Amino acid sequence: MFVKLLIAFVAPFALMVSLSRFSLNMIVGALATIGIMMAVFEGYNHGPTPMAIGTVSLIGGYFVSRKLLKNIKLTE
């Protein structure tokens, strides 16, 4: 159970930051991360605790990616 909670804490954060940085768009990163989370969590089979931890981690990743993408301009 501890491993599932650790993965639920780390994976959405890392996915959100990396996908947002790769696509240079936070919305695309968030949608892709949510889709991957739903596929991994298999709906609601794992219970509410990993889903809640994953959601908090996703929100944290959103704020970090917003900070990373703040000064990046696509056109100069």
Closest Cα to residue 10, out of 33, 31, 44? 33
CA distances from 67 to 44, 46, 71 (A): 31, 31, 8
Cα first-last separation, the chain: 48
Identify the pLDDT of residue 64: 93
Higher pLDDT, 55 or 46: 55
Query: Which tens digit of pLDDT belongs to each residue from 2-13?
Result: 888 888 889 899
pTM of this prediction? 0.82
